[in-house]
Amino acid sequence: MSFTYTLEATEGAARAGTLVLPHGVVRTPAFMPVGTHGVVRGLDPQDVRDANAQIILANTYHLHLRPGEATVRALGGLHRFTTWERPMLTDSGGFQVFSLEGMRTISEEGVAFTSHVDGSRRFLSPERSMEVQWTLGADIAMVFDHVPPGQAPHALAREAMERTERWLDRGRKRHAELVAEGLPGPDGVPQQQALWPIVQGGIHDDLRLRSLAGIVDRGPWTGIAVGGLSVGESKPDMHRVLELLEPHLPREVPRYLMGVGFPEDLLEGIARGIDLFDCVAATRNGRHGTAWVTEGRMNVKLSANRTSDLPLDPGCDCTCCTRFSRGYVRHLFMAEDMLGLRLVSVHNIRFLLRLGEQARAHILAGTFDGWRREWLRVHATRRGRPT
RNA sequence: GGUGGGGUGGCCGAGUGGCUAAUGGCAGCAGACUGUAAAUCUGCCGGGCUCACGCUCUACGUAGGUUCGAAUCCUACCCCCACCA
């Protein structure tokens, strides 16, 4: 039965569970690599499988612009198009309301964007986002939301939160219609797709609680996301919001913290009851030459790595670390060969994926909290430098 | 041997009397990056002291000279390139 979530163990607020989706099972807590354009940037889907990713993201706005959802559907839908046969989730385009500020105009009806691809005018509404996502065909669709900046004052955060709530009603209605109409998948089986709502409210406790209450009232859902974090607010604010929401989030569905995070954020989020994460940092930092390692982070291009025969992270089991030396990976960056970008990206997503796997094992064993504290202590020790 | 051109910071290359420790680019050295407009962006980059402002020393082939002042003008020398013999 798709979209069921089974909670297997808890330790404090931390949870271990299993989410069943049309294209496979996701064991949580878990990190979901971001593949905005239907590709985890720079990586072969096989790389992503080898890293043991269970589910990846794609982006509604970007795929709508290029190649267009109709094209994706003509080629069999997102899974067949990309050859990624495991679960997928599409973000709604709500984040682009935030990231493309200056190229868009928000109204009650929706958001008018100026395409960065060709300058054309594009319009995304809660309904349109649902239609595009349904056509793309991911396992999970996200509701179209209004993401304000992290430091948004109460009035703006409130406006965005209330608009997100109204858009939730419109999006949910349209999604239900689409599901009722039905759409045969590439193998003839009717397409199944969950819709998850997003809690907004910025760093304002009253708004966060109201947002969540509004979502819970409209339930039940098969998953709930927390959005609008890691967009410029402080870490203490992010942690406070998560702690505030945790007791009010339904226990029986997965909680997805959108756009987070760095390794330490994963552990801090898991400790505060989060089950799913996504973040571009793993691949972007990978392309920019920053590798996450046990002791912190390492700039691969550091001259100190020139003659190092060690792997990026001796404790890592990824394709990069089991095969290549720091000296060679550094050389690839200095020589500007694309293999370097790919290898460090692979390493970073494996690093986060493994972190999720380890956290899960510790929660199941009841040893998560001690492990997490020790892990964070070691990770903060120093910048990863060759020894 | 002759004629012409040229020698600038690790490299390439601007600059032709003061605003020049010297534009740019490359290389080098660091930093940033959180639901991807990003294989991107930012900073440093002659030596010494300074967190910094700043101070100071040494610098535009070499050696002299002109000038209040020279990478820039003059003289000699050394070296490089092109063409001619």
A209 C-beta neighbours (distance < 10 Å), count: 16
Cβ of residue A36 lies below 7 Å from strand B: yes
Cβ atoms of residues A3 and A26 within 8 Å: no
Amino acid A331: pLDDT = 92
pLDDT at A387 over 60: no
pLDDT in tens, A318-336: 999 999 999 999 999 998 9
Gap from A288 CA to B42 C1', in Å?
A: 13
- Model confidence at A102, in pLDDT bands (50, 70, 90)? confident
**Which nucleotides in chain B lie closer than 7 A to a protein CB?**
27-41
Amino acid A165: pLDDT = 97
Mean pLDDT of A96-118: 92
pLDDT at A108 over 90: yes
Cβ of residue A102 lies below 7 Å from strand B: yes
Amino acid A188: pLDDT = 79
Which residues 144-203 of A interface with strand B at a CB distance below 7 A?
145, 147, 198
- Model confidence at A97, in pLDDT bands (50, 70, 90)? confident
pLDDT at A175 over 50: yes
Tokens representing residue A67 in the block: 């190649």
Gap from A152 CA to B5 C1', in Å?
A: 65
pLDDT in tens, A145-169: 999 999 899 999 999 999 999 999 9
Tokens representing residue A191 in the block: 């397409």
**Shortest-distance nucleotide from A94 CA to C1':** B35
Amino acid A184: pLDDT = 84
Cβ of residue A40 lies below 7 Å from strand B: yes
Tokens representing residue A202 in the block: 């910025």
Strand A14-21 and strand A5-11: pairing? antiparallel
Amino acid A366: pLDDT = 97
A100 C-beta neighbours (distance < 10 Å), count: 16
Q: Which residues contact A366 (CB under 8 A, 6 or more apart)?
A: A9, A11
Amino acid A160: pLDDT = 96
pLDDT at A107 over 60: yes
Work out the mean pLDDT of chain A and round it to a whole number. Answer: 94
Gap from A127 CA to B74 C1', in Å?
A: 83
pLDDT > 70: what percent of chain A? 98
Amino acid A382: pLDDT = 60
User: What DSSP string runs through A73-119?
Assistant: HHTTHHHHHHT--S-EEEE-SHHHHHHTTTSEEE-SS-EEEE-TTT-
Mean pLDDT of A294-302: 90
Cα–Cα distance between A68 and A73 in angstroms, integer? 9
**Shortest-distance nucleotide from A341 CA to C1':** B39
Instruction: State the sign of the Cα–Cα–Cα–Cα dihedral A255, A162, A65, A98.
Output: negative
**Shortest-distance nucleotide from A383 CA to C1':** B31
Cβ of residue A334 lies below 7 Å from strand B: yes
pLDDT in tens, A116-135: 999 899 999 999 999 999 99
Gap from A207 CA to B56 C1', in Å?
A: 60
Cα–Cα distance between A232 and A172 in angstroms, integer? 29
Amino acid A383: pLDDT = 55
Tokens representing residue A88 in the block: 């997928």
Cα–Cα distance between A272 and A248 in angstroms, integer? 12
Q: Please give the ipTM for the structure prediction.
A: 0.91
Gap from A340 CA to B15 C1', in Å?
A: 40
Which residues 278-297 of A interface with strand B at a CB distance below 7 A?
278-281, 283-285, 287-290, 297
pTM higher than 0.90, yes or no? yes
Gap from A340 CA to B30 C1', in Å?
A: 20
Alpha helices (H) in chain A, listed in sequence order: 45-50, 60-65, 69-74, 77-82, 94-99, 126-136, 154-181, 205-217, 235-245, 263-271, 281-288, 319-323, 326-334, 338-365, 368-379
Amino acid A386: pLDDT = 42
- Model confidence at A304, in pLDDT bands (50, 70, 90)? confident
CA angle A373, A375, A379 (to 5 degrees): 120
**Residues of A labelled catalytic:** 91, 278
**Shortest-distance nucleotide from A101 CA to C1':** B37
Identify the weakest region by mean pLDDT among A60-64, A100-104, A273-277. A100-104
**Shortest-distance nucleotide from A385 CA to C1':** B30
Burial of A328 (0-12, 13-18, 19+ CB in 10 A): middle
Gap from A158 CA to B4 C1', in Å?
A: 78
Cβ of residue A90 lies below 7 Å from strand B: no
